[in-house]
Structures are given as structure tokens and as C-alpha cells.
Structure 1
Amino acid sequence: MKRLSVFILCLVFSSLSGAHEHTSPFGPRDFKHIENKWTAVVAAYEPEIAAIDAAFAQMEDAQITETLYFKGVKYQLGEYKGEPIVVLSTGISITNAAMTVQMALDYFPIDTLVMMGIAGATDPQFTPGDIAVPERWYFHDESVYVNPKPNARNEYELPSFYMAQLEQYTQRNVTNPHAPRYNNFGFIHPNEVAVVREGWDSRRRMPYFSATPRLLTMTKRALETIPTITMPSGKPIQVAVGGNGVTGSVFVDNADYRNWLREVFNADVAEMESAAVAQVCFVNDIDWLIIRSVSDLAGGQKGKNEGNVFDAIASGTGTKLLLGLLDEIVTENE
């Protein structure tokens, strides 16, 4: 009887391995049959999601109709001017962002994701309340930590694998103007995440992830149609569409490291989720764009970081642009 059971299991797994992906009983749900797919509206933590919820609450044509929880994560389902949406907060950090967004894409028929949140400015032109909408997102702390060489000032014992990768990166810089110009920050030597997606036979190192061009175009169009975004004082803010953002597992509040981010990545803003969200969207072939409103100067300020003072204000300015972008998405889908 035991041998018969093993034989049956072998037949089952053999048939599964030869089956096409869409016939497998395992894996995420298949939403290909749904024509009117959803837009995911994403933030990272409480002040950001509160600003979005407050804006929706003041609109007659934006409603949350159902709230679901999966594995403790809250997903709000509803409509924005007829467009089906799911609103979620990822939680702070790259791990939370990757987990919650992948869950959302597995559970709901999403084809577009727009994220809004706060960030620290690494470009000196930005002040709190200003908005950056980067075209490219990089991981800044995917790194190799190494020992110094004995009796050699500012030299390090680099592993052989990393030296080979640096050579590849140097060659790539000739053809890719947006690739990072890597140098070390003390014992920290930057590296890149290796990514795989459907159709690739092996992992490839990705220097950055690029936002969907049509959503960048929509954002520019939204800026031409919505009222000028201002601070509570009435001061107009500046909005920059394009450029670079960086993501890491650390809260950046160091002037030297801030300068290094600018030098290596030409970064405008730094935060803790966006590149992870971008990677998940890239692997799942989801259109995406991320809006970041400046709450602090990532160490460029004098004295203590007072980003918490501007969290709600920055979330408010970012939400105004988010609503303008959602309007453009609705118009395109009509």
C-alpha cells in the first residue's frame, strides 16, 4: 500500500511539472480573464495613508466599500471616480514593502500601482513639502562590508567576486549614463540586487528600476491641470518629475552619507520602500509610479532631524499630486 501511495504521488508531481503554469493548482490567482483591472493606491505608514483616506472622505466620487485583512495586512477596496482601487499601507522598510505589495498582486486584479509617501531630500534644491517623482529607483545599501588592508591607508580587502562585478559595472558605465558611478563609503562597498522574472533563464543584476513612462507623462499632465500645490502657509512648492530616488534599509540622517548618495546615484530623495515596490512591479509586469514628498533633509539640516514635524504636511502635498494622477488614470480608462 505504501509503494502504491508513493507511485501515485510521483504521477501527480510528474503531471504538475509538465503542466502549463496556468493549469497548476499552486501559485497566485490568475486574473487574466478580468478586463477592468484595478489601480493600487499605496503608502508606507500612518501619516501617509491618513492623508489619502482624509482626501477620499471629502470626495463624493471616491468611496471605500470593503475592508479586508490578509495575514494582518489591511486592504481597503473601493472606487475612485468609477475606477476600481485597492488602498494599502506597506509598513516601513523594504521587507514590508516587498511582502505587502506582492500579496496585493497575488490577491487582487491589479494592473497599475501608484505610491505616495514622504522622503528625505538628498538634492539641496529641495525643502520640506517639495515633491520628487523619480524616473528611476536604486537600492543604495545593497553592499559588501570589508576589512581594511593592513598598513595601507584607505585601501580594502575586496573579495574576488566583488572585484569581478566592479569590472562589469565599470564597462557598463560606458553605455548607460544612469548607471551608478560606484565608489565606497569607508568599509561599505555598494553592490546590486540580482533579479529574475518570467522569460529569463538566470538572475540579472539591476542597477535601477524605471517607472512606467506613460505614468510619468500623466503626472506632468496632472501638474498642468490641478491647482498649484502649496504649503499650509500658502507658499508654492516645487515638483520635479524625473531624476533618481534611492531606497535602503536605513533611515538616512548623515550629511556625509547624503553627499555620497548624491555623488554615486545622483539621488534626489532617499527613503525605505520604493525600490522594493518597483522591483515587485517589474517582476510582475505591473505599471507603476512613486511620488515622494520631502519631509526632511536626510542629514543636511543643522542639528536634530525634525522630519516628524513635516510628516503630515508633506503627506498632504503629495496627496494632492496623487489625486491629480488618479484623475488622469480615470480619464485614460474611460
Structure 2
Amino acid sequence: MSAGTHLKIGIIGAMHLECDFLRQQLKETTHKQYLDIKITLGSWSGHAVCLLESGIGKVNATLAAEWLAREFKPDLVINTGSAGGIKLGTHVGDFVFADKVCHHDVDVSPIGFEFGELPGLPVYYAVKDRWLKKLDQVATQLQDMHHIGTIATGESFIYRESQVAQIKQRFADVVACEMEAAAVAQVCYLHDIDFLILRNLSDVAGEEAQTSFNQYIEQAGRKSTELVLGLISQIN
């Protein structure tokens, strides 16, 4: 990537409160719709940006990522929004960045596969080191507290201690869980598109997670927007 290169950057967020502030910041915007997915085309810092508000869950995230791959053809896909912290020492308002993501609710182990593994696909989808380093650098400059590790995806809101314990037992170095990231990563892996997963913690998985999520989801969306736009601004 040479100096002055303008990229096409796709951004996927699940919920209105995770996307609305970012949508308002983009320049030269136009809007369209695919199924129930709200699409905003715009720009930031000289780069073409396409923001998709996908809806919650893996199927919605897959539809959004596939639309991006086919119609927008991005150089980089960023999946952003909120997550629940799992790692000891994470707090509401912290960021988590994936070095790899996995499906914590996939289990075909009775026929010889690992937890999280689908036949013909890896257990973990790895983020390219150069993008993770850039994200880490920008977050450090912005003085955003952040943690790097595995982000685990499943179709359930994780709030019981027993759920947390099981995920940590099955997958290494899990920092957070949520409901879309591995689906986005899997589509990007299959299309050979670079991706980043960054989430702000709206809750820390445990018995109080539901209350915390409802209180902090808007804050998580705003903080994620600031970091995403800061990152795009520093991509040459």
C-alpha cells in the first residue's frame, strides 16, 4: 500500500445505536437498502466508505458481508460495535481488538472436529498483523484502554457465569463475546478480504450483563465511531 492510496473500506455494525453516530459523521453520503440492511455510502479522509447496519446475529452479518464483497468490493472490512467482556480485568468502556475470532457455538466434535470448527474451515480466523498493529497504534494515541485476543461469536447473549466458563475452557485467550464477528470474518476469509474486528464493551459477561448493556450501548457506539474514524484517518 503506497503513500496516498485511497482505499474502499466497508464497515458493518449490528444495531442502530452502534451505527447512527458513525452514519452522521461520514461525508458526501447517499443511502440505500438491501433487504432489512441499511446502507450508507460516503467518504472519510479521502477513502470511500460503505457502512452497513446489518441487524443482530450471524445470518444478518453474513448477508451484509456478502453484499459488501460482491457489490462494494472493499479492500478492508471493519466490524464494529459492542461486545461483552470475558477476560479478567476488562471493564465497561474498554475496547477489545481481535487477533483472531471463532464460533463458540459450533460443535461437530462427535464426528472428529474441534469445537468451533466447520468441515473445510479453520477454528480461528486470524486478523492480519499489519492492520492490528495500526489499530493498536491509533488506540494508544487516543489513550483508549484496549485488550487484544480472541473474540468469540455465538447466537446467544452471554450473561451466565457457566456460559463464560465454558467458552474460556474451549477457546484460548478469549477477551470478549458477541454475535456477529466470526460470521463477518468467515465471509472475508472465503473472499480473501482483509478484516478488522473492534468492539467497545457495553457489558462484562456475568449476572449483571443485561442491565449494563442497556445502559451503555449508546456510549459503546460513540466510542467505536471515534476510534474507527481515527483509524481510517491514519490509513495512507
| Same fold, TM-score > 0.5, yes or no | yes
1:81-140: CA deviation from partner (whole Å, max 9, x where unpaired) = 111111111110001000111012111131111121101111121111111001010100
| Aligned-pair identity (%) | 26
Q: Which moved more, 1:316-325 or 1:206-215?
A: 316-325
2:176 aligned partner: 269
**Structure 2 residue identity aligned to 1:213:** D
What's the CA shift for 1:309? 0.5
In 2, are the aligned partners of 1:121 and 1:269 still within 8 Å (CA)?
yes
Label 1:91 to 1:163 Cα distance change in 2 as closer, same or farther (>3 A). closer
Label 1:222 to 1:304 Cα distance change in 2 as closer, same or farther (>3 A). closer
1:301-323: CA deviation from partner (whole Å, max 9, x where unpaired) = 3x864311010112222222212
What's the CA shift for 1:48? 0.5
In 1, are the aligned partners of 2:159 and 2:210 still within 8 Å (CA)?
no
TM-score, normalising length: structure 1 = 0.65
What's the CA shift for 1:225? 3.2
Residues 37-186 of structure 1 aligned to structure 2 (within 5 Å) = 37-54=7-24, 56=25, 62-143=26-107, 162-163=109-110, 165=112, 169=114
Q: Which of 197, 210, 215 in structure 2 is aligned with 1:309? A: 215
Alpha-carbon distance between aligned partners in 2 of 1:41 and 1:164, rounded to the nearest angstrom: 36
The alignment partner of 1:110 has SS state of: coil
Alpha-carbon distance between aligned partners in 2 of 1:37 and 1:131, rounded to the nearest angstrom: 24
Alpha-carbon distance between aligned partners in 2 of 1:47 and 1:209, rounded to the nearest angstrom: 27
Alpha-carbon distance between aligned partners in 1 of 2:64 and 2:187, rounded to the nearest angstrom: 10
In 1, are the aligned partners of 2:95 and 2:201 still within 8 Å (CA)?
yes
Alpha-carbon distance between aligned partners in 2 of 1:45 and 1:305, rounded to the nearest angstrom: 17
Q: Which of 116, 122, 127 in structure 2 is aligned with 1:211? A: 127
What's the CA shift for 1:221? 2.0
2:204 aligned partner: 297
TM-score, normalising length: structure 2 = 0.90
**Structure 2 residue identity aligned to 1:136:** K
**Structure 1 residue identity aligned to 2:54:** T
1:222 aligned partner: 138
In 2, are the aligned partners of 1:128 and 1:295 still within 8 Å (CA)?
yes
1:167-195: CA deviation from partner (whole Å, max 9, x where unpaired) = xx5xxxxxxxxxxxxxxxxxxxx44223x
In 2, are the aligned partners of 1:122 and 1:259 still within 8 Å (CA)?
no
Label 1:263 to 1:72 Cα distance change in 2 as closer, same or farther (>3 A). closer
1:172 aligned partner: none
What's the CA shift for 1:74? 2.1
2:165 aligned partner: 259
Q: How many residues align?
A: 231
Alpha-carbon distance between aligned partners in 2 of 1:315 and 1:191, rounded to the nearest angstrom: 28
The alignment partner of 2:75 has SS state of: strand
Q: Which runs of 5 or more residues in structure 2 are unaligned?
A: none
What's the CA shift for 1:64? 3.7
Label 1:222 to 1:107 Cα distance change in 2 as closer, same or farther (>3 A). same
The alignment partner of 2:105 has SS state of: coil
Alpha-carbon distance between aligned partners in 1 of 2:41 and 2:66, rounded to the nearest angstrom: 17
Alpha-carbon distance between aligned partners in 2 of 1:99 and 1:77, rounded to the nearest angstrom: 17
Label 1:107 to 1:308 Cα distance change in 2 as closer, same or farther (>3 A). same
2:117 aligned partner: 192
In 2, are the aligned partners of 1:115 and 1:291 still within 8 Å (CA)?
yes
**Structure 2 residue identity aligned to 1:47:** L
The alignment partner of 1:288 has SS state of: strand
In 1, are the aligned partners of 2:6 and 2:46 still within 8 Å (CA)?
no
Instruction: Quote the RMSD (CA, aligned, Å).
Output: 2.0
Alpha-carbon distance between aligned partners in 2 of 1:124 and 1:137, rounded to the nearest angstrom: 18
The alignment partner of 2:81 has SS state of: strand
Q: Which moved more, 1:132-141 or 1:316-325?
A: 316-325
**Structure 1 residue identity aligned to 2:197:** I
